Amino acid sequence: MAKDAHLTIGRAIDSAMATVGRGGQLLRSTLGLSGISGDRKHSRRVTPGELPGIDHIANILEPPAPGSVAISYTDYSATRIESGDIADLDEFLEKPVPDWVQVRWLNVSNLNPYVVNLFRHHYAFHTLAAEDVLHIPQRPRIEIFDDHIFVVLRMLQLVQHEVVDPLSDSSLDTEQVSLFLYDNVLITFQEKPGDVWQPIRDRLQNEGRRIRKSGTSYLLYALLDAVVDHCFPVLEKYGDVLEELEFITLENPSPQVLHRIHSVKRELALVRRIVWPMRELVDQLYREEGDRIEDSTRPYLRDVYEHTIQIVEIIESYREMASGLTDLYMSAMSNRMNEVMKVLTIIATIFIPLTFIAGVYGMNFQNMPELAWRWAYPALWVVFTLLTAGMLFFFKRKGWIGKT
C-alpha cells in the first residue's frame, strides 16, 4: 500500500506537469525544459533570423489587460517599510524614490512585453536582457553590466494538492525568474504568479532582522537562497521514488518499473541541467568584485554555493543509483527467464524418457515377450519411479531444485 503510494507520487509528478501532450504516452519530460516537451518551441525567437531585442515585438506598445500583470513594490530601510501593489506603473516609475528608502524591491508576476519595456526604458537595461526576460526557457546565468547585474534563474516548486489520494498529492512547478540588481533597487520578473518568497516577505516586516539592515545584495541573496532551498524537497521526492523503485525491483520487477526508472533518470538529467548553471551563477556572484555585493553578504552567498554543490552531488548519486537499478532489473529479468527455463527443463527431461518407454510398450509387434510377462507392468512402474527419482536427484545436485 505504502509502496504504491510512493510510486504513484512520481507518476503524479509526471502527469500533473504534462500540460501539452498525447494521452497514450507513458514517459514524459517532467520539467517543461528544452527537453522534448512541447514547451521547447518557445525557447527561441519564433522565426530564425528575426530581429534581436524586444523593440520589434508586436504588442510592445499595447498595455496589458488590467489584472493580467501584478506589480508590487516593497520599500524599506532599517526603521521603516512600505509595500503595496502598483496600479499605474508609468506614474510610479516617474515619482522619485523617497529619501528614507534604502532598498526598493519591485516584483512583476506574469510576463508582458509592454511592462518589461517600460522598466527597460526607466532602468536602462539592455534590449537583449529584456528579450531574455520574455523568451523562456533561458539557461540560468548571470551577466554583469556597468551599473547593474542581470540574473536568470529557474525556480522549482513542489505544489501540494488538496487531494487525499496519496498518488497525486503533489506536482512539480517550474518557472523562470529574472532579476536586475541596481544599487538601491532590485527588480524581479516572474513567469507566473505564485512564488517561494513568502517567508522573505514576512521576514521583511520584522524590524530587527538583518535583512532590514542590509542592502540590495542581501535581499538578492535571500531570494536566491529560497530558490535553491526549494530544490531539496524536490530531491527528497525523487529519493523516495527511487527507494520505492529499488524495493519493487527486488521484490516484483515488471517492465513498468524499468520505464519508471528510465523516466526518473531523464527527469534527474533535466533537474541537473537547471541546477548546474545555478552553481556557476552563484559562484560568479560570490566572486564578483566591486561594491554592488556587500562584503557582509559574501559568506551568505558562499553558503548558497555550498548548497548548490550538495544538490548537484545528490543528483549525481541518484543518477548512479538509477543506473544501478537498471542493472538490477536486467538481472532480475534474466533470473526469471532462468527460472522459467528450469521448470520447463525439469518437466520435459523427466517425462520425455518416460513417455518414450510407454511408447515402446504401446507398439504392436507380434513378438514382444515382455508384454506377456506377469510382473512386467508393475515392474515398469518401478522403473518409472526410479528414473524420476534419479532425475530429481540430478537436478537437486545441479542446484535447480530447492534453491531459488
Of residues 185-214, which lie at the interface with a copy of itself (CB under 8 A)? 196-200, 203, 209-210
Report the DSSP pairing between strands 149-160 and 170-181: antiparallel
Confirm or reject binding of residue 282 to a copy of itself (CB under 8 A): no
Reported for 295-298, long-range contacts at CB under 8 A and 24+ positions apart, including other chains, are: 296/214, 296/218, 297/214, 297/215, 297/217, 297/218, 297/220, 297/221
User: Residue from 233, 386, 389, 390 that binds a copy of itself (CB under 8 A)?
Assistant: 233
- Give the C-alpha separation, 127 to 237, whole Å: 39
- Among the candidate windows 18-26, 74-82, 174-182, 286-294, which touches a copy of itself by CB under 8 A? 18-26
Give me the least distance between CB of 368 and a copy of itself, in Å please. 5
Confirm or reject binding of residue 27 to a copy of itself (CB under 8 A): yes
DSSP codes joined into one string, 327-385: HHHHHHHHHHHHHHHHHHHHHHHHHHHHHHHHHHTT---S--GGGG-SSHHHHHHHHHH
Are the CB atoms for 181 and 151 separated by under 8 Å? yes
Give me the least distance between CB of 170 and a copy of itself, in Å please. 14
Residues from 254 through 273 that contact a copy of itself (CB under 8 A): 254-255, 258-259, 262, 265-266, 269-270, 273
Confirm or reject binding of residue 342 to a copy of itself (CB under 8 A): yes
- Among the candidate windows 28-36, 70-78, 81-89, 114-122, which touches a copy of itself by CB under 8 A? 28-36
User: Residue from 4, 183, 207, 243 that binds a copy of itself (CB under 8 A)?
Assistant: 243
Q: What nine digits make up the cell of 17?
A: 506537469
Confirm or reject binding of residue 329 to a copy of itself (CB under 8 A): yes
User: Residue from 82, 159, 306, 389 that binds a copy of itself (CB under 8 A)?
Assistant: 306
User: Residue from 141, 166, 168, 173 that binds a copy of itself (CB under 8 A)?
Assistant: 141
Cα Rg, the chain, nearest whole Å? 34
Are the CB atoms for 288 and 48 separated by under 8 Å? no
Give me the least distance between CB of 374 and a copy of itself, in Å please. 6
User: Residue from 63, 64, 166, 324 that binds a copy of itself (CB under 8 A)?
Assistant: 324
Q: By C-alpha distance, which of 225, 218, 210, 143 is closest to 178?
A: 143
Confirm or reject binding of residue 331 to a copy of itself (CB under 8 A): yes
Q: What nine digits make up the cell of 149?
A: 547585474
Count of Cβ atoms closer than 10 Å to residue 150 Cβ: 21
Q: What nine digits make up the cell of 235?
A: 530531491
Cis peptide before 98 (omega within 30 of 0): no
Confirm or reject binding of residue 24 to a copy of itself (CB under 8 A): yes
Confirm or reject binding of residue 49 to a copy of itself (CB under 8 A): yes
- Give the C-alpha separation, 136 to 189, whole Å: 12
User: Residue from 68, 205, 355, 385 that binds a copy of itself (CB under 8 A)?
Assistant: 355
Confirm or reject binding of residue 42 to a copy of itself (CB under 8 A): no
**Smaller CB distance to a copy of itself: residue 68 or 317?**
317
Confirm or reject binding of residue 327 to a copy of itself (CB under 8 A): yes
Give me the least distance between CB of 277 and a copy of itself, in Å please. 9
C-alpha pair distances (Å), 311 with each of 278, 344, 357: 11, 49, 69
Residues from 365 through 384 that contact a copy of itself (CB under 8 A): 365-368, 370-377, 380
Size of the site for a copy of itself (CB under 8 A): 130
User: Residue from 4, 20, 44, 161 that binds a copy of itself (CB under 8 A)?
Assistant: 44
- Give the C-alpha separation, 402 to 404, whole Å: 7
**Smaller CB distance to a copy of itself: residue 165 or 313?**
313
Confirm or reject binding of residue 358 to a copy of itself (CB under 8 A): yes
Give me the least distance between CB of 31 and a copy of itself, in Å please. 11
Residues from 78 through 137 that contact a copy of itself (CB under 8 A): 126, 128, 132
- Among the candidate windows 63-71, 168-176, 283-291, 299-307, which touches a copy of itself by CB under 8 A? 299-307
Residues facing residue 154 across a β-bridge: 176
Query: In sequence order, what are the residues at sequence separation of 6 or more whose Cβ sits closer than 8 angstroms to the Cβ of residue 120?
Result: 54, 127, 129, 130
- Give the C-alpha separation, 285 to 20, whole Å: 36
* Angle between helical axes of 376-398 and 298-360 (0-180°, round to 10): 160
